[in-house]
Amino acid sequence: MLRRPGSGTRSSIAQPALLGKLNAYQVLRVLQPGQELSRAEIARSSGISAPTVSRAVESLLQAGLLEEIDAREAVPGRPARKLRLARVSAQVVGVVIDAEECTVSVAGLDGRATSNSVIHFATPTKYDELIAACADAVSRCTGDTGISTLGVGISVPGLIDARNNLSILSPNVPQTNGHSPAADLGAVLPFPCVMIHETQGLCLAESRYGAARGREDFALLDISTGIGLSVMDGGRILSGHSGLAGEIGHITVDPDGRQCGCGNRGCLETVASDTAMARQVSTKLNCHVTIEQVLAMARSGEYWPDDELAGLLDYLAIGVAAIVNLFNPGAIFIYGRLFELSDHIFNDLIERVRKRTLPPSFADCEIVRAQANKLQAAHAGIIEHLVDGIAPSLSTMSSGGTPKERKSHH
């Protein structure tokens, strides 16, 4: 989870200021995306007293996280001021840095896109050019809108050092290695910028806007550019000792296989990702194609990747079965483009996973396609940061903060 320094430790929970933040967090929990409620309705739903709700609402309005709209309750002639997550008065920007293409767009605090404007550009191979292109796209998205921009969320693949806010190893976007896109974008933009691992962002987005809403225990597997795993346990993302957990894409499945961008050979992501599929088809056709082009060729009947799919699904089933057996999640949400080839492909994967998992664990786990996307992941990252800065949850405070914060307290 993304937190601002000083979000609290276990011993500070009882302090009045933090109790006020907990009340604000409860208000935000009630006002899920799409909800529009009056103060009285929030009090009834949250179990918090009306005066306490009013104080929490005022702090959230001042922070720009909520906005008021006019509405009418059931009693004729009795106006009520409804509250919702800010959508018209404030916005956030999502920046997706990916291997071949970057994407930038704006959204409200409810995660909904506030315009149809989405900017795409080829990912520059040089880091300075990447930052300049991202800064230009953000400026174009936010200029002359009259809407307050609260921050920028940057989705980045690869290992992220949460202690020092650095991208330390990105096999698919190596130009970010040793750099902090958040710090460098923040130096040229007038908004706070936050970097989030793309799979953790997808996990947050699936929890807030996708099929995992209401769940506190699930796993999100991203098989798009590479392969990444994020596990939500009790409402908190498992980050590991150094914040580097979830790199299932770099377990070895073929010791003598293709060299991975991480330097190892035979990593899972070299044989079981969208990128792996596109590369195998490129080899077969003797020309470079992307996953989008593979999908287009399959739809038109020009080429159907039967051989490539069979091997890929076998390897992917090994990875999914490992997640089921290791973490015993209530559900696994899988994000990837290759399932757009045909609905039966996902069902085929599930059957292969069933044969490789412990029967009790498989029986207790749903395996479904993810609904969230990488832009929502970037939006969810900055929204989570803003919310935790104003109203950290109980699990956030009791966890002792981020790895960097835990280190500072020892």
Q: Return d(Cα 73, Cα 82) in angstroms, integer.
A: 10
Of 205, 186, 176, 182, which Cα lies nearest the Cα of 194?
182
Q: Which fold has domain 10-85?
A: Arc Repressor Mutant, subunit A (1.10.10)
- pLDDT tens digit at each of 410 positions of the chain: 333 333 333 333 334 566 777 888 888 888 877 789 999 999 998 888 999 999 999 989 988 889 998 765 445 555 678 999 998 899 999 999 999 999 999 999 988 887 777 999 999 999 999 999 999 999 999 987 778 999 999 999 988 887 788 999 998 999 999 999 999 999 999 999 999 999 999 999 999 889 998 898 999 999 999 999 999 998 888 888 878 889 999 999 999 999 998 899 999 999 999 999 999 999 999 999 999 999 999 999 999 999 999 999 999 999 999 999 999 999 999 999 999 999 899 999 999 999 999 999 999 999 999 999 999 999 999 998 888 877 655 444 444 444 334 333 33
Q: Which two tokens stand for residue 372?
A: 């969230």
Q: Return d(Cα 41, Cα 336) in angstroms, integer.
A: 39
Of 271, 359, 276, which Cα lies nearest the Cα of 318?
271
Domain parsing of the chain, residue ranges: 10-85, 90-202+377-384, 212-369
Terminal CA-CA length for the chain: 20
Of 218, 221, 274, which Cα lies nearest the Cα of 247?
221
Beta strands in 201-249 (DSSP E): 218-222, 228-233, 236-237
Chain-centre distance for alpha carbon 69:
29
Say whether 212-369 and 10-85 share the same fold: no
CATH code of the domain occupying 212-369: 3.30.420.40
The CATH H-level (homologous superfamily) assignment of domain 90-202+377-384 is ATPase, nucleotide binding domain (3.30.420.40)
Full-model pTM: 0.84
